[in-house]
């Protein structure tokens, strides 16, 4: 009797698994980043997703970053060139229960001088006949920072965050989303390789012909970060859609930033074209100075251009091509984004141009 | 203060939501893949990781993976 029951349960599970395993997917893509600051990053990605049981989806992915750089950060510290390799493994679970979706993921990232563990948990609830969705989430990240060639150097950085978003159907062709994230980090934010030049207050000072001395970069341990995003998706004529979003960001280091992004999608048969335009501006951190002098030395000093005042622009396109005659859900994609960064008060670099090129394949089986 | 802001956020959203009821059979356009806010989450992970390593701002657009990426 017990054997029959077990067999029946096994048959039921197998039947259910076969019935719901309609959306298993495989994604592989490679992104190449290259810029005029002599940095190239090749990032291959492979991801698997499997409908493992009723409403339950398991996923796993691997990303690598192969970095080669002779950027101003590298050469200004008397190193001609650096290379690095980062591996990132992600495992995730999503469980759908009627109008509620639970999700969790773990990310492990390792490179020769940096290691991090990240956990994300989330829950979303559909409401008002699925016209509204409330999602909340929490993240925790533990990071260990090392310095190549210095066995004694070890610093820690921990970051925790919460997020909330509201997605709202506005009419038959329009969806809006409002989201907010807050994070608090405590630990070592600086780069162990960056040193800050302290110059003399007198020009052409014979005692300090180039600069007086260098000190290790030092940034505050605590960082509170707020980001709020409002987005709108609107289906337009024929088979096209436009998406726009705006992000406001601020933190306790004094950085304020504005990001505006527009994406336009148009589909002709099996081909979808996406055009993208993104504009970003930020003010510098309160302790950032283009030049530190012997009289302006302060507790926190940085040579990080990401903390300076700058703007950037990304423009590009992406083409996705479905091949139903090869497989019912096979898709190839290619993307090219061109970007420009304009640094307004960073002494060592005034601009950076580059491209982000990607090719990939998606299969649902 | 933050709890109050969150409560106001939820109140405004839910008050607005009560006015809109699009029936399931009216969602043909909304169901298209291009109408989702994250049509390609894997691309977003790569993009966000690249951008967050090169900008002072972070957050608001979902996960950016782990690690430094700061070179």
Domain membership of residue B37 (yes or no) is yes
Alpha helices in A300-344 (DSSP H): none
Q: What is the DSSP letter of A289?
A: -
Task: Name A45's Cβ contacts closer than 8 Å, sequence gap at least 6.
Answer: A27, A28, A29, A30, A31, A61, A62, A63, A360, B42, B45, B46
Q: Are A130 and A100 in contact (CB under 8 A)?
A: no
Domain membership of residue B69 (yes or no) is no
ipTM of the complex: 0.83
Q: Average of pLDDT values for A346-365? A: 91
A10 to chain B, closest Cα gap in Å: 34
Residue whose C-alpha is closest to residue A131's, from B61, B68, B30: B30
Alpha helices in chain A (DSSP H): 2-20, 72-75
The DSSP-derived string for A244-268 is EEEEEEEETTS-EEEEEEEEEEEEE
Domains of chain A: 26-364 (2.40.160)
Give the model's confidence band at A3: pLDDT under 50 very low, under 70 low, under 90 confident, else very high: very low
A172 to chain B, closest Cα gap in Å: 6
User: B67: which strand partners?
Assistant: none
* CB spacing of B66 vs A107 below 8 angstroms: yes
Predicted confidence (pLDDT) at residue A352 exceeds the cutoff of 50: yes
* CB spacing of A166 vs B65 below 8 angstroms: no
Predicted confidence (pLDDT) at residue A108 exceeds the cutoff of 50: yes
* CB spacing of A29 vs B20 below 8 angstroms: no
The larger pLDDT score, comparing residue A79 to residue B55, is at B55
The larger pLDDT score, comparing residue A302 to residue A18, is at A302
For A175, the token pair is: 């969806």
Query: Given this model, what pLDDT does residue A309 score?
Result: 97
Query: Given this model, what pLDDT does residue B21 score?
Result: 78
Q: Calculate the average pLDDT of chain A.
A: 89
* CB spacing of A249 vs B26 below 8 angstroms: no
Q: Which residues of A touch B16 (CB under 8 A)?
A: 168
CA dihedral sign, ordered B5, B10, B15, B20: positive
Q: Calculate the average pLDDT of chain B.
A: 74
* CB spacing of A131 vs B20 below 8 angstroms: yes
CB contact burial A272-295 (16+ within 10 A = b; e otherwise): bebebebebbbbbbebbbeebbee
**Which of A61, A67, A239 is closest, CB to CB, to B71?**
A67
Q: How many CA atoms lie within 13 A of A266 on its CB side?
A: 7
Q: Which domain holds residue B15?
A: 2-54
Q: Please report which helix (H) or strand (E) contains residue A92, including its range.
A: strand A82-97
Q: Are A111 and A43 in contact (CB under 8 A)?
A: no
B59 to chain A, closest Cα gap in Å: 6
Report how many domains make up chain B: 1
Query: Given this model, what pLDDT does residue A174 score?
Result: 93
Whole-model pTM over 0.90:
no
| Residues 3-22 in B contacting A (C-alpha not used; CB under 8 Å) | 6, 9-10, 13-14, 16-18, 20-22
* CB spacing of B56 vs A179 below 8 angstroms: no
Q: Which residues of B touch A187 (CB under 8 A)?
A: none
Instruction: Give the span between the Cα atoms of A358 and A356, in whole angstroms.
Output: 7
**B61 in contact with A, Cβ within 8 Å:** yes
The DSSP-derived string for B7-61 is HHHHHHHHHHHTT----GGG-TTTTSGGGSS-S-HHHHHHHHHHHHHHSS---SS
Share of chain B above pLDDT 70, in %: 58
* CB spacing of A228 vs B26 below 8 angstroms: no
Query: Given this model, what pLDDT does residue B2 score?
Result: 56
Q: Which residues of A touch B35 (CB under 8 A)?
A: 175, 233, 235, 241
| Residues 37-56 in B contacting A (C-alpha not used; CB under 8 Å) | 37, 42-43, 45-47, 50, 53-56
Q: Average of pLDDT values for A119-148? A: 93
């Amino acid at each position: 009797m017990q054997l029959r029951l077990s067999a029946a349960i096994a048959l039921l599970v197998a039947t259910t698994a076969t019935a719901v395993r309609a959306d298993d997917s495989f994604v592989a893509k490679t992104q190449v980043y290259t810029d005029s600051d002599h940095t190239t990053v090749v990032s291959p990605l492979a991801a698997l997703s499997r409908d493992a049981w009723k409403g339950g989806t398991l996923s796993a992915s691997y990303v690598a970053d192969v970095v080669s750089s002779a950027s101003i950060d590298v050469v200004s510290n008397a190193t001609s060139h650096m290379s690095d390799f980062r591996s990132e493994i992600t495992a995730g679970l999503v469980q759908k229960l009627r109008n509620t979706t639970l999700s969790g993921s773990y990310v492990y990232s390792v490179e020769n001088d940096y290691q991090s563990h990240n956990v994300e948990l989330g829950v979303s609830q559909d409401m008002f006949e699925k016209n509204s969705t409330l999602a909340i989430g929490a993240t925790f990240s533990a990071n260990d920072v090392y310095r190549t060639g210095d066995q004694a150097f070890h610093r820690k950085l921990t970051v925790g965050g919460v997020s909330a978003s509201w997605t709202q159907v506005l009419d038959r062709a329009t969806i809006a989303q409002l989201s907010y994230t807050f994070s608090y980090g405590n630990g070592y934010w600086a780069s162990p390789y960056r040193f800050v030049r302290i110059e003399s207050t007198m020009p052409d000072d014979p005692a300090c012909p180039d600069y007086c001395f260098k000190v290790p970069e030092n940034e505050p341990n605590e960082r509170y970060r707020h980001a709020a995003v409002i987005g709108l998706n609107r289906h337009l004529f024929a088979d096209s859609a436009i998406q726009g979003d705006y992000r406001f960001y601020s933190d306790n280091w004094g950085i304020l930033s504005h990001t505006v992004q527009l994406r336009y999608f148009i589909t002709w048969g099996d081909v979808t074209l996406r055009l993208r335009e993104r504009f970003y501006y930020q003010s510098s951190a309160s302790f950032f100075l283009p030049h530190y002098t012997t009289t302006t030395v302060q507790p926190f000093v940085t040579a990080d251009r990401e903390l300076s005042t700058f703007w950037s622009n990304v423009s590009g396109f992406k083409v996705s091509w479905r091949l139903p005659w090869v497989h019912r859900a096979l898709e190839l994609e290619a993307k090219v984004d061109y970007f420009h960064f304009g640094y307004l008060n960073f002494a060592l670099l005034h601009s950076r141009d580059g491209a982000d090129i990607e090719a990939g394949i998606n299969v649902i089986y | 203060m933050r709890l109050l802001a969150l409560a106001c956020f939820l109140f405004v959203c839910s008050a607005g939501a009560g006015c809109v009821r699009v029936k399931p059979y009216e969602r043909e356009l909304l169901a298209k893949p291009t109408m989702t806010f994250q049509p390609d989450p894997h691309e977003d992970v790569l993009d966000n990781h690249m951008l967050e390593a090169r900008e002072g701002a972070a957050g608001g657009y979902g996960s950016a993976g782990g690690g430094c990426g700061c070179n």
